[in-house]
Amino acid sequence: MQASVVAALNPWQIFMEATIVVKAVIVLLVVFFHVCLYIIIYKGIVLSRAISGSKRFIEVFWGSRSYDEVYEQSGRYKSSPVAQIFRAGYMELAKLKTDGGGDGRHAVVQEIGKRDLGEIEIVERSLNRAYTEELTRLEGMIPFLATTGSTAPFIGLFGTVWGIMHSFMAIKELNSVSLTTVAPGIAEALIATAIGLVAAVPAVIAYNYFLRKIRIVSANMSAFSNDFLNITKRHFLK
């Protein structure tokens, strides 16, 4: 008796006996689940490296005596969005240096200062552009988690409704309301609901977790951009 019950609860057997519509729903939800699993692992590694790398780079930045020294070390922090923002600002200053002539970082600043302090806006735009690019990169694939979290339960519910309809049709065709008649349809309906929840719950949890991590990185990038601009402006005003 117990062995027969276990066999009846075999998910694979239930899937194989399900209607084509419910099978399609289950396959779709399984694909969603595996894609979300990949995103969770991948983005977890990316965001962890971004936070730790940015923390180390900021320590290097404040511990260095020149932009040139920081730039030389910034190549070691490719996973740090803050480092990429610095590199964007530094390269923009290097372009101004080339346009203005002179030798050395202080010569760059003095030359630019003689021309127009408004040129600091060029550096600011470069920093903002780098900020947007890094934030877009960090947010990549995250919306899929939100999409899965909001749609998977309803996709599973569709499979549930279809399975119950299949049970009602079996009752009509066989003119019987026994458990044997309705059990297959109810089983495939419930397994569709279960897989929908299995896909949705981790996706929602991961989405909220990653949003919090991205806010931390975004705040670090914004604060660093302001510090970089303030340091540059102080040089311009000398």
Q: pLDDT, tens digit, for every residue of 177-232? A: 555 556 666 777 788 888 999 999 999 999 999 999 999 999 999 999 999 998 88
Taking Cα atoms as reference points, which of 38, 25, 43, 32 lies closest to residue 149?
Answer: 32
Q: Report pLDDT for 102.
A: 46
Contact 148, 203 (CB under 8 A): yes
Q: Residue 136: its pLDDT value, please?
A: 95
pLDDT value of residue 44: 96
pLDDT score, position 219: 94
* pLDDT for position 185: 64
pLDDT-flagged residues of the chain (< 70): 1-12, 14-18, 99-119, 166, 170-185, 235-238
* Residue 121 confidence (pLDDT): 84
Query: Domain locations in the chain?
Result: 17-236
Is 104 strand, coil or helix?
coil
Residues 25-62: b if buried by 16+ CB within 10 A, e if exposed: bbebbeebbebbeebbeebeebbeebbebbebbbebbe
198 to 120, 143, 185: CA distances (angstroms): 51, 18, 20
pLDDT of residue 99: 63
The answer to whether the pTM exceeds 0.85 is no
Question: Residue 120: what pLDDT?
Answer: 80
Name the residue among 52, 55, 84, 53 with its Cα closest to residue 71.
84
